[in-house]
Chains A and B, each alone.
Chain A
Amino acid sequence: MTELLGHYNYWIVIILMMTGFYIVIARPNLVKKVIGLFIFQTSVFILFISMAKIEGGTAPIIEEGLSVYSNPLPHVLILTAIVVSLATTALGLALVVRIQEAYGTSNEDDIHVQDEED
Protein backbone atom coordinates (compact mmCIF):
# COMPACT_ATOMS: atom_id res chain seq x y z
CA MET A 1 0.00 0.00 0.00
CA THR A 2 2.74 2.44 0.99
CA GLU A 3 4.76 1.88 -2.19
CA LEU A 4 1.71 2.55 -4.32
CA LEU A 5 0.77 5.58 -2.26
CA GLY A 6 4.32 6.93 -2.11
CA HIS A 7 3.68 9.95 -4.27
CA TYR A 8 -0.06 9.74 -4.84
CA ASN A 9 -0.84 12.94 -2.92
CA TYR A 10 1.77 14.92 -4.79
CA TRP A 11 0.54 13.78 -8.18
CA ILE A 12 -3.07 14.71 -7.51
CA VAL A 13 -1.90 18.04 -6.16
CA ILE A 14 0.00 18.66 -9.38
CA ILE A 15 -3.07 17.79 -11.45
CA LEU A 16 -5.10 20.28 -9.39
CA MET A 17 -2.37 22.88 -9.78
CA MET A 18 -2.39 22.42 -13.55
CA THR A 19 -6.20 22.68 -13.58
CA GLY A 20 -5.93 26.09 -11.96
CA PHE A 21 -3.05 27.08 -14.25
CA TYR A 22 -5.09 26.07 -17.31
CA ILE A 23 -8.01 28.23 -16.20
CA VAL A 24 -5.68 31.19 -15.70
CA ILE A 25 -4.05 31.01 -19.13
CA ALA A 26 -6.84 29.65 -21.32
CA ARG A 27 -10.05 31.31 -20.10
CA PRO A 28 -10.76 34.88 -21.13
CA ASN A 29 -13.11 35.80 -18.27
CA LEU A 30 -11.28 37.70 -15.54
CA VAL A 31 -13.44 36.41 -12.64
CA LYS A 32 -12.77 32.87 -13.79
CA LYS A 33 -9.06 33.63 -13.93
CA VAL A 34 -9.15 34.71 -10.27
CA ILE A 35 -10.99 31.49 -9.44
CA GLY A 36 -8.28 29.56 -11.30
CA LEU A 37 -5.69 31.31 -9.17
CA PHE A 38 -7.68 30.31 -6.07
CA ILE A 39 -7.58 26.65 -7.12
CA PHE A 40 -3.86 26.91 -7.77
CA GLN A 41 -3.31 28.42 -4.31
CA THR A 42 -5.36 25.73 -2.58
CA SER A 43 -3.41 23.00 -4.32
CA VAL A 44 -0.16 24.56 -3.08
CA PHE A 45 -1.62 24.50 0.45
CA ILE A 46 -2.42 20.80 0.09
CA LEU A 47 1.11 20.14 -1.19
CA PHE A 48 2.68 21.73 1.89
CA ILE A 49 0.32 20.02 4.32
CA SER A 50 0.93 16.64 2.63
CA MET A 51 4.65 17.11 3.23
CA ALA A 52 4.02 17.85 6.90
CA LYS A 53 2.15 14.59 7.51
CA ILE A 54 4.02 11.85 9.35
CA GLU A 55 2.77 8.27 9.19
CA GLY A 56 1.03 7.47 12.48
CA GLY A 57 1.45 11.03 13.71
CA THR A 58 -1.20 13.28 15.19
CA ALA A 59 -2.01 17.00 15.26
CA PRO A 60 0.87 19.09 16.69
CA ILE A 61 -0.85 19.99 19.95
CA ILE A 62 1.18 18.49 22.75
CA GLU A 63 -0.60 16.12 25.09
CA GLU A 64 0.45 13.53 27.66
CA GLY A 65 1.01 10.06 26.24
CA LEU A 66 1.57 11.07 22.60
CA SER A 67 4.99 11.16 21.02
CA VAL A 68 4.68 11.42 17.20
CA TYR A 69 3.37 14.74 15.95
CA SER A 70 3.05 16.07 12.42
CA ASN A 71 5.45 18.80 11.40
CA PRO A 72 4.07 22.15 12.66
CA LEU A 73 6.21 24.40 10.46
CA PRO A 74 4.31 23.94 7.15
CA HIS A 75 1.07 24.38 9.10
CA VAL A 76 2.22 27.80 10.28
CA LEU A 77 3.31 28.86 6.80
CA ILE A 78 0.03 27.77 5.22
CA LEU A 79 -2.17 29.17 7.98
CA THR A 80 -0.91 32.67 7.31
CA ALA A 81 -0.82 32.02 3.56
CA ILE A 82 -4.55 31.22 3.54
CA VAL A 83 -5.44 34.57 5.08
CA VAL A 84 -3.03 36.40 2.80
CA SER A 85 -4.47 34.54 -0.21
CA LEU A 86 -7.92 35.82 0.71
CA ALA A 87 -6.58 39.37 0.95
CA THR A 88 -4.89 39.11 -2.44
CA THR A 89 -7.93 37.45 -4.02
CA ALA A 90 -10.03 40.33 -2.76
CA LEU A 91 -7.59 42.78 -4.31
CA GLY A 92 -7.75 40.91 -7.63
CA LEU A 93 -11.55 40.88 -7.56
CA ALA A 94 -11.58 44.59 -6.75
CA LEU A 95 -9.46 45.18 -9.85
CA VAL A 96 -11.91 43.10 -11.89
CA VAL A 97 -14.78 45.23 -10.61
CA ARG A 98 -12.99 48.42 -11.63
CA ILE A 99 -12.13 46.99 -15.06
CA GLN A 100 -15.78 46.05 -15.49
CA GLU A 101 -16.79 49.62 -14.66
CA ALA A 102 -14.22 51.14 -17.03
CA TYR A 103 -14.69 48.82 -20.02
CA GLY A 104 -18.19 47.49 -19.47
CA THR A 105 -16.95 43.93 -19.78
CA SER A 106 -14.84 41.48 -17.85
CA ASN A 107 -13.85 39.45 -20.88
CA GLU A 108 -10.18 39.71 -21.75
CA ASP A 109 -10.68 39.38 -25.52
CA ASP A 110 -13.23 42.21 -25.59
CA ILE A 111 -10.91 44.41 -23.53
CA HIS A 112 -8.11 43.87 -26.06
CA VAL A 113 -10.44 44.80 -28.91
CA GLN A 114 -11.46 48.02 -27.12
CA ASP A 115 -7.82 48.89 -26.45
CA GLU A 116 -6.92 48.48 -30.10
CA GLU A 117 -9.79 50.72 -31.21
CA ASP A 118 -8.50 53.60 -29.07
Chain B
Amino acid sequence: MFIAVSAVLLVAIALGLVRAFRGPTLYDRVMAANMIGTLTVLMVAVLGFMAERPEFLDIALVYVLISFVSTIAVLRVYASRVSMQGSDRK
Protein backbone atom coordinates (compact mmCIF):
# COMPACT_ATOMS: atom_id res chain seq x y z
CA MET B 1 0.00 0.00 0.00
CA PHE B 2 2.87 2.35 0.81
CA ILE B 3 4.24 1.39 -2.59
CA ALA B 4 1.05 2.56 -4.29
CA VAL B 5 1.25 5.90 -2.48
CA SER B 6 4.92 6.40 -3.33
CA ALA B 7 4.22 5.50 -6.97
CA VAL B 8 1.51 8.17 -7.08
CA LEU B 9 3.92 10.63 -5.46
CA LEU B 10 6.55 9.89 -8.10
CA VAL B 11 4.03 10.41 -10.90
CA ALA B 12 2.95 13.69 -9.33
CA ILE B 13 6.59 14.82 -9.04
CA ALA B 14 7.10 13.98 -12.71
CA LEU B 15 4.02 16.03 -13.67
CA GLY B 16 5.33 18.94 -11.58
CA LEU B 17 8.68 18.66 -13.34
CA VAL B 18 6.96 18.95 -16.72
CA ARG B 19 5.33 22.17 -15.51
CA ALA B 20 8.69 23.46 -14.29
CA PHE B 21 10.24 22.82 -17.72
CA ARG B 22 7.37 24.34 -19.66
CA GLY B 23 7.12 27.52 -17.61
CA PRO B 24 6.03 29.81 -19.23
CA THR B 25 6.50 32.43 -16.47
CA LEU B 26 8.95 32.27 -13.59
CA TYR B 27 6.00 32.08 -11.21
CA ASP B 28 4.89 28.81 -12.74
CA ARG B 29 8.34 27.42 -12.09
CA VAL B 30 8.38 28.62 -8.49
CA MET B 31 4.95 27.10 -8.03
CA ALA B 32 6.13 23.79 -9.48
CA ALA B 33 9.19 23.81 -7.22
CA ASN B 34 6.96 24.52 -4.23
CA MET B 35 4.68 21.63 -5.12
CA ILE B 36 7.61 19.28 -5.64
CA GLY B 37 8.83 20.35 -2.19
CA THR B 38 5.50 19.33 -0.63
CA LEU B 39 5.52 16.04 -2.51
CA THR B 40 9.09 15.34 -1.42
CA VAL B 41 8.12 15.84 2.22
CA LEU B 42 5.36 13.24 1.85
CA MET B 43 7.70 10.99 -0.11
CA VAL B 44 10.30 11.02 2.66
CA ALA B 45 7.64 10.33 5.29
CA VAL B 46 6.21 7.41 3.31
CA LEU B 47 9.69 6.05 2.58
CA GLY B 48 10.45 6.09 6.31
CA PHE B 49 7.38 3.96 7.00
CA MET B 50 8.27 1.70 4.08
CA ALA B 51 11.76 1.04 5.48
CA GLU B 52 10.08 0.44 8.87
CA ARG B 53 12.17 3.15 10.48
CA PRO B 54 9.70 6.03 10.75
CA GLU B 55 11.73 7.88 13.36
CA PHE B 56 13.59 9.71 10.59
CA LEU B 57 10.76 12.19 10.10
CA ASP B 58 13.18 14.96 11.08
CA ILE B 59 14.21 15.11 7.43
CA ALA B 60 10.63 15.74 6.34
CA LEU B 61 10.33 18.46 8.96
CA VAL B 62 13.44 20.19 7.66
CA TYR B 63 12.05 20.01 4.11
CA VAL B 64 8.82 21.74 5.07
CA LEU B 65 10.64 24.66 6.65
CA ILE B 66 13.36 25.00 4.03
CA SER B 67 11.14 24.79 0.97
CA PHE B 68 8.91 27.48 2.46
CA VAL B 69 11.84 29.82 3.15
CA SER B 70 13.29 29.31 -0.32
CA THR B 71 9.95 29.97 -2.03
CA ILE B 72 9.61 33.25 -0.14
CA ALA B 73 13.23 34.11 -0.91
CA VAL B 74 12.73 33.58 -4.62
CA LEU B 75 9.78 35.93 -4.68
CA ARG B 76 11.57 38.64 -2.69
CA VAL B 77 14.80 38.44 -4.69
CA TYR B 78 13.04 38.27 -8.02
CA ALA B 79 10.82 41.21 -7.24
CA SER B 80 13.82 43.36 -6.27
CA ARG B 81 15.45 42.47 -9.60
CA VAL B 82 12.41 43.52 -11.61
CA SER B 83 12.30 46.86 -9.82
CA MET B 84 16.02 47.41 -10.51
CA GLN B 85 15.48 46.97 -14.23
CA GLY B 86 12.55 49.32 -14.04
CA SER B 87 14.69 52.05 -12.51
CA ASP B 88 17.35 51.52 -15.20
CA ARG B 89 14.85 52.25 -17.91
CA LYS B 90 13.91 55.57 -16.34
Contact = CB atoms under 8 A, between A and B. Distances in A.
Query: Direct contact between A and B in the complex (CB less than 8 angstroms)?
Result: yes
Judged by DSSP, the binding face of B is: loop
B76 interface: no
A88 interface: no
A61 B51 CA distance: 13
Contacts of A50: none
Contacts, number: 7
B27 interface: no
Contacts of B56: 59
Contacts of A100: none
A58 B55 CA distance: 13
Nearest to B52: A58
B55 to A, nearest CB: 8
B53 interface: yes
Interface string B44-62: 0000000101001000000
B45 to A, nearest CB: 15
A37 B80 CA distance: 27
Interface of A: 58-59, 61, 63
The 7 residue pairs across chains A and B that have the minimum distance between CB atoms: A58-B53, A58-B51, A59-B53, A59-B56, A59-B51, A63-B53, A61-B53
7 contacts: A58-B51, A58-B53, A59-B51, A59-B53, A59-B56, A61-B53, A63-B53
